């Protein structure tokens, strides 16, 4: 079978989740590193976002769609369960993270550091911190029982969240808020030891150099 090509950036959380799927399943893939606005992205994603996938004749955009495709056509551990209840729970957490939690933690909180270029945007940071804490508390409660978002299985729901938790630790309020959660902090530490997480770690740098995300 042809080798999948993931086009995106090692610094991008959504690119990382797709790479983690490949690592977890033992898929031999290639990362084509590119910047936001690259023509390779616009050729596949109508809004030019990353990641996109090329695999033989298949071209896909949207990380969840790419993950579903890779999970179904490649062997290895199933990351999107087929059992209806577990599949729905996985969708539930992916949807909440992608529509709400990513916006709060990354696009608003972390970007207040990234976009500023120089000094962090303190007004935005202070305004968003109650929502950051509230959403981390929701996740803390969710993983308290089993150490996973979906039953006691490691699924794409966990993969989709872990890169976000790693990024918010780069900025002080995010690191402190996560450390105070208890269950979620332990969940992060435990899953961060997975080889798929280590193999996809973004290049080091302060939050202001974390672009693109």
Ligand X SMILES: N[C@@H](CCC(=O)N[C@@H](CS)C(=O)NCC(=O)O)C(=O)O
Q: Is residue 104 near ligand X by the rule CB under 6 A?
A: no
Identify the residue among 7, 54, 55, 63 touching ligand X (CB under 6 A).
63
Q: Is residue 14 near ligand X by the rule CB under 6 A?
A: yes
Identify the residue among 4, 12, 97, 125 touching ligand X (CB under 6 A).
12
For 23, list phi and psi in degrees, rounded to 5: -65, -45
Sheet holding 58-61, edge to edge: 30-33, 5-8, 52-55, 58-61
Q: Of the listed pieces 59-67, 77-85, 113-121, 185-193, which binds ligand X according to CB under 6 A? A: 59-67
Q: How far is CA 14 from CA 45, 120, 178, in A?
A: 13, 23, 20
Q: Is residue 62 near ligand X by the rule CB under 6 A?
A: yes
H/E stretch holding 53 reads strand 52-55
Identify the residue among 36, 86, 131, 144 touching ligand X (CB under 6 A).
36
Q: Is residue 212 near ligand X by the rule CB under 6 A?
A: yes
Measured torsion, CA atoms of residues 54, 20, 145, 134, in degrees rounded to the nearest 10: -80
**Residues within window 111-150 making contact with ligand X, judged by CB under 6 A:** none
**Residues within window 144-203 making contact with ligand X, judged by CB under 6 A:** none
Q: What are 30's strand-pairing partners? A: 5
* Positions that interact with ligand X (CB under 6 A): 12-14, 36, 49-50, 62-64, 98, 212-213
């Amino acid at each position: 079978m042809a080798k999948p090509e993931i086009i995106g950036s090692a610094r991008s959380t959504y690119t990382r989740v797709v790479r983690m799927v490949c690592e977890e399943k033992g898929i031999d893939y290639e990362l084509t590193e590119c910047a936001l606005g690259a023509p390779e992205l616009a050729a596949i994603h109508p809004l030019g976002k990353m990641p996109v996938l090329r695999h033989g004749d298949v071209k896909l955009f949207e990380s969840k769609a790419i993950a579903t495709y890779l999970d179904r056509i490649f062997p290895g551990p199933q990351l999107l369960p087929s059992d209806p209840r577990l599949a729905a729970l996985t969708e539930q957490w992916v949807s909440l993270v992608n529509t709400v939690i990513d916006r709060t933690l990354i696009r608003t909180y972390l970007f207040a550091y990234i976009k500023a270029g120089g000094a962090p945007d303190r007004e935005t940071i202070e305004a968003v911190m109650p929502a950051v804490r509230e959403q981390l508390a929701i996740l803390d409660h969710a993983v308290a029982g089993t150490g996973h978002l979906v039953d006691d299985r490691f699924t794409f729901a966990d993969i989709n969240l872990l890169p976000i938790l790693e990024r918010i630790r780069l900025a002080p309020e995010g690191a402190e808020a996560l450390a105070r959660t208890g269950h979620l902090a332990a969940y992060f530490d435990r899953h961060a030891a997975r080889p798929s997480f280590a193999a996809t770690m973004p290049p080091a740098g302060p939050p202001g150099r974390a672009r693109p995300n």
